[in-house]
Amino acid sequence: MNEEEKYLFDLRGYLVVEDVLSPRQLADANAALDHHGLWEGENKLDYRLLKQYNPYIANAGPLHTTPRPVRSLIGHDRVLPYLEEILGSDLRYDEGQVLYARKGAGALILHNGNTPWEYPPLSYQVRDGRIYGGHLIAAFCLTDALAEHGGFAVVPGSHKSAFDLPDAFQSWEKTGDWVTRVPVRAGSVVLFADTATHGSWPWAADFERRVVFCRYTAGMVQHTSPAPVPEDLPDGDWTPVERRLLRPPFAWHFQQDADGYAERQRTSVRSAEGWVMTDHSGQIIPRADDGTE
């Protein structure tokens, strides 16, 4: 994340990263999602979880059990550096799904905000020039969602708000210039903090909206239960990075073996080994009468 991107993310709570998917990746992902049959009351892609809110909008998943190339987005190499910047190198994938919408889909209520007392991991801080967050969402846009189409809605700066979202704002009963339209083109990713108040404008385009949502947390945090694991799809031909991302929440690992006692830190997404600490002498303050001074 360069300085301009860091500034914009901290200012608004979201960032549009353009041209993340190559034309081939975009075409392959869309081809894999064609003929889903949801609007005809069918589930031709055999989604295990399916939330069809009305005849015009549905969430389908879980993402990590869908066929490639769609589930390959979980560990996309263009997005991981952004996630590491904010969540740390021990980040994990928490859950995801495919959003389908067609003309007539109503607005999704505005939800979430900087309310850590409700759910502590949903936090946002900046310390010594670094951003720290507990939960980030990467929205891979497989179709255009320009201003006239509808799509992603966000209240800029709400990831640092000190007050709850008013009920009339949440339900769109009242709206105004505090809600922003975020136009994006197919192949781009909207990266946003879950502390940012967000939702969707009504979908008005004649073509189907498709977004793949990938949610990530810091390594010791779990937002969704049960945690997704590679064993959910035993023949999933997982890459090492994907297996690392699909680890349940974890913290420190303590072990005693032939080499002695060791504390192993949470493993980095770039290394399965982590860092090992074996010298604890520095943790003890010697007494003045034990001859160690």
Q: Are residues 214 and 268 in the same domain?
A: no
- Distance of alpha carbon 228 from alpha carbon 241, whole angstroms: 14
Q: Are residues 146 and 263 in the same domain?
A: no
pLDDT of 11 over the 70 cut: yes
Q: Are residues 66 and 151 in the same domain?
A: yes
Lowest mean pLDDT among 97-101, 106-110, 171-175, 266-270: 266-270
Q: Are residues 269 and 135 in the same domain?
A: no
Q: Are residues 262 and 164 in the same domain?
A: no
293 lies in some domain = no
Quickly state the pLDDT bin for 287 (edges 50, 70, 90). low
pLDDT for residue 173:
94
Q: Are residues 87 and 103 in the same domain?
A: yes
pLDDT for residue 162:
85
272 lies in some domain = yes
Tens-digit pLDDT profile for residues 43-67: 999 999 999 888 999 999 999 999 9
Q: Are residues 231 and 265 in the same domain?
A: no
| Residues contacting 9, CB < 8 A, separation 6+ | 1, 15, 86, 131, 191, 193
Three-class DSSP category at 278: coil
pLDDT of 230 over the 80 cut: yes
Q: Are residues 164 and 271 in the same domain?
A: no
Question: What is the domain extent for residue 63?
Answer: 3-245
pLDDT of 112 over the 90 cut: no
Q: Are residues 49 and 115 in the same domain?
A: yes
CATH value at residue 170: 2.60.120.620
Q: What is the pTM of this model?
A: 0.89
pLDDT of 293 over the 90 cut: no
Quickly state the pLDDT bin for 281 (edges 50, 70, 90). low
257 lies in some domain = yes
The string over 224-257, giving b where at least 16 C-beta atoms fall within 10 Å of a residue's C-beta and e elsewhere, is eeebbebeebeebebeebbebbbbeeeeeeeeee
290 lies in some domain = no
235 lies in some domain = yes
Average pLDDT, the chain: 88
Tokens coding 155: 């209240």
Quickly state the pLDDT bin for 269 (edges 50, 70, 90). confident
Q: Report which secondary-structure segment, H or E, holds 244.
A: helix 240-245
Q: Are residues 62 and 27 in the same domain?
A: yes
Quickly state the pLDDT bin for 225 (edges 50, 70, 90). confident
Number of domains in the chain: 2
Q: Are residues 136 and 215 in the same domain?
A: yes
Q: Are residues 265 and 139 in the same domain?
A: no
pLDDT for residue 291:
54
292 lies in some domain = no
pLDDT for residue 250:
79
164 lies in some domain = yes
pLDDT of 275 over the 60 cut: no
Share of the chain above pLDDT 90, in %: 67
The string over 65-86, giving b where at least 16 C-beta atoms fall within 10 Å of a residue's C-beta and e elsewhere, is ebeebbbbbbbbeebbebbbbb
pLDDT for residue 249:
87
Tokens coding 222: 């779990």
Quickly state the pLDDT bin for 132 (edges 50, 70, 90). confident
pLDDT of 292 over the 60 cut: no
- Distance of alpha carbon 73 from alpha carbon 213, whole angstroms: 9
Quickly state the pLDDT bin for 88 (edges 50, 70, 90). confident
Quickly state the pLDDT bin for 288 (edges 50, 70, 90). low
47 lies in some domain = yes
- Distance of alpha carbon 107 from alpha carbon 276, whole angstroms: 49
Between 281 and 130, the more confident residue is: 130
pLDDT of 20 over the 60 cut: yes
Three-class DSSP category at 29: helix
Tens-digit pLDDT profile for residues 147-192: 999 999 999 999 998 888 899 999 999 999 999 999 999 999 999 9
